[in-house]
Amino acid sequence: MAFITLPRILRFLQPEQHLYVIDDGSFTEKNVKQILQLSPSVRVISRKEREDFVLEKIGNRPNCKKYREDFPLSFKLLDIPLIASKESPRYTFTDSDIIYLKNCQRYFNQQENTYLKTDSIKLSVKLRNGLLKYKWAIPVRFNSGYFSYDTRNFDLDFIEYYLGLSDVRNSPWLSEQTCWALLFGKSGPSYCPSEVQFICQENCSGPKASTLAVHLIGGLKGKVHEWSIQEEQISLTSINPIFESSRNVTLVDWAQKSAKRILRAVS
């Protein structure tokens, strides 16, 4: 999938911008060579190459170390922001299962904390506990597939504290995304791309004239070839990305989520 989506990202970068591809440990030498051939602006950082640096930065934080050893997606929460902080105060992260179709330059030039809004609240901690027990500020419908973040807000001590809690990993695969939501919540106001333009919905039926990018979540990954070739078909009109102010989850959101769960259980 990356060999389809990465060239599209490169089209929207400025000449002075670089694309850092972080190896999750699955790359072969052939994969690395193929990725580097995409552009001189691309750099691949292997786990071996970054290991000493990341461990030094983590220091005496045993929860972070164990999480990094046990959880495959931990590099998104720990390795990438630590590496990025060496290069620039702000960086943009994108998963490789996002198709950037057209006019996406601004997604890679945001100067405010910006995240992708998905179709529902998806956390690894019970929303009730997040709001009432821990009193966390939680940006609504947070998805960590795309974001722009100021690394000066990155807080390893908070991550260490979060990973040490006994009730925050009810859905382990959402633990990284949940912690990122909390880091954003701690950092003040944030923004989201228009949900019509940057789609992150499991029931997406395909790109429309207004679509600039699509995150292939859930069962949509099989659409990568079909939807990647639709750019010329969906629109010839230039549409500029729109960004909207985000808000935090409230008790009303929790009540609505609880009511939906109850209705599904009795239906």
* CATH numbers and ranges of domains, the chain: 2-266 (3.90.550)
The model's pTM is: 0.93
Query: What are all long-range contacts of 13-21, with beta carbons under 8 Å and residues at least 24 apart?
Result: 13/41, 13/108, 14/105, 14/108, 14/109, 17/41, 17/108, 18/42, 18/43, 18/87, 19/43, 20/44, 20/45, 20/83, 20/84, 20/87, 21/45
Tokens 């880091």 map to which residue?
A: 183
Residue 145: pLDDT band with limits 50, 70, 90: very high
146's enclosing H/E stretch is strand 142-150
Strands 98-100, 19-22: pairing is unpaired
Residue 23: pLDDT band with limits 50, 70, 90: very high
- Residue in 122, 30, 127, 20 with CA at minimum distance from that of residue 76: 20
Dihedral sign computed on CA atoms, order 214, 261, 124, 27: negative
pLDDT tens profile 104-114? 999 999 999 99
pLDDT tens profile 175-206? 999 999 999 999 999 999 999 999 999 999 99
Give me the pLDDT at residue 236, please: 44
Neighbours of 99 (CB within 10 A): 25
